[in-house]
Amino acid sequence: MTRPALPDWLDPLPDAARMRATDAWAIDELGIPGVDLMDRAGAALASVVERVAPQGTIAVVCGKGNNGGDGYVLARLLREQGRDVRVLVTAPVAELRGDAAHHSALLPGPGPVPFAAAGLHGVTLVVDAILGTGVTGEPRGAARYAIDAIVESGVPVVACDVPSGVDASTGEAAGVAIRAVATATFHAAKPGLWINPGKERSGVLAVCDIGIPAGAPTEPADVGLLTERVLDGLPGRGAASTKFTSGHVLVAGGSRGLTGAPCLAALGAMRGGAGYVTACVPGSLEEVVAIALMEAMTVPLPDHGGALVADGAALVAERAARRGGALVLGPGLGTAAASRTFARGLAAVADVPLVLDADGLGAHAGRVADLAARTAPTVLTPHAGELARLLDTSSERVQAARLEHAHTAAEHAHAVVVLKGDDTLVADPDGRVAISQGGAPALATAGTGDVLAGLVGALLAQGVEPFRAACAAVELHARAGRLAAEQHGPDGVVAGDVAAALGRARLRDGDRGAGR
């Protein structure tokens, strides 16, 4: 299958195979000596090390590949600057080949010594140059021993290219892995440095230019880092706009004790630009929702004890067919068997773009492939636990291999999947993935996912293509979380604050400052 190219609002993140091909092109086709690339990588690594630890003894732990070669360059440069550097190795120097062997021979001062945990005593910083981007799976042998000892030492670590034990392409960490305070990666960031658990083990990321020009004839990346460029050209209200042309969003959900969730989803849709929002909720709870949502319409649906029942699905589908727009299904739905039947029935017959969230996802646990029969676009917005139930696996497995599971769900459901987290992944059925830069801890509070679902619905209702709608919503949501934190502090933010900040989140910084 030929995948569509990444849109220009994503910064491509080449995986390990693409990076190897780029290196080979630079060396074999452009004639850039490999020893020069390694020299530049070591120099860039030295700059990061000097920022992190301007004083004190440095332990550089080198493996036998090119990653170790970068470490030998670093050690040479630091010693030439008068720094006290210990070079500890996980393989004999005699086993080195090529560029790494060349640079190991240039090391001044004391020679490398076999790695031992005692070699870390009294050092200010450890530089991890053990395993490179091409290594996958659980570390073994001398490399495993060194990684274990470094982790147990508690000494701060700067990683070379990728923390050893982290898969550069996926972020997976099979077994033990380095946890760095900073990572110097070369030419371009790799997906695994932005996807957890790799992201949280990489620390502060420095992408270092080592002189490889753009234009490598490699297969285009299918994973990209989400940028604010995704917001350029989004539809907005103009002089001729009406509440109907600004997009209609239906929110279907709610149950006894969970009326806040559909209200927050409706707020997310309204603050996200939808001109007309209708909350379809249990009839016995309609008054509660109507009081909370002065600017939205409400529609009472058949319920039993505050739980929606199957008969209501046709009513919502008919209203969707008449009004158009998008449907957000699941916030506050609850787990009653009748409500789950309602959700499955409505998802199957609603002929408008669908955002399936929260208990709407739970209703499809183990049935994710049923969604592939839908003819209108579908966006799923699970956290790890919800995705695990969809795929009939465990949340631990999802968290350990987030990219794999997001791909699987997108393929099986033929839907865009938004796997939420600080590293939110947006995967589409064509195999493309966007990764959020995160950095909005204020979103770690109940109800913010409902706001996000409503926001996705608003963008879909305004005619934004599903993959872009999901990506733009993730970016706006994070921006709104940061804006809310500026006002309330990250620990004082509640979901309503995030919804209230969505309008400002769409403005550029200068526009916000001018009060426009």
Q: Which residues are annotated as a binding site for AMP?
A: 420-424, 449
Cα 326 to Cα 73: distance, rounded to the nearest angstrom: 57
Q: Which backbone phi and psi does 330 adopt, to 5 degrees?
A: 130, -30
Whether omega before 197 lies within 30 degrees of 0, making that bond cis, reads: yes
- Binding site feature residues for K(+): 67, 128, 164
Cα 221 to Cα 213: distance, rounded to the nearest angstrom: 16
**Tokens 């030295």 label which residue?**
46
Cα 410 to Cα 427: distance, rounded to the nearest angstrom: 6
**What does each C-alpha distance from 258 to 334, 344, 500 come to in angstroms?**
7, 19, 20
CA angle centred on 509, ends 491 and 423, rounded to 5°: 50
Q: How many CB atoms lie within 10 A of CB 465?
A: 15
Q: Which backbone phi and psi does 420 adopt, to 5 degrees?
A: -75, 150
Q: Alpha-carbon dihedral of residues 462, 466, 467, 468, nearest 10 degrees?
A: -10
- Binding site feature residues: 66-70, 128, 132-138, 161, 164, 261, 332, 383, 420-424, 449-450
Question: Which residues are CB-neighbours of 72 under 8 A, at least 6 positions away?
Answer: 42, 60, 62, 87, 100, 103, 104, 106, 107
End-to-end Cα distance, the chain: 46
Instruction: Determine the angle formed by the axes of helices 312-323 and 337-349, rounding to 10 degrees.
Output: 30
Cα 72 to Cα 87: distance, rounded to the nearest angstrom: 8
E strand or H helix that includes residue 490:
none
- Binding site feature residues for (6S)-NADPHX: 66-70, 132-138, 161, 261, 332, 383, 450
**Tokens 């992944």 label which residue?**
425
**What does each C-alpha distance from 123 to 14, 165, 414 come to in angstroms?**
34, 22, 52
E strand or H helix that includes residue 396:
helix 395-400
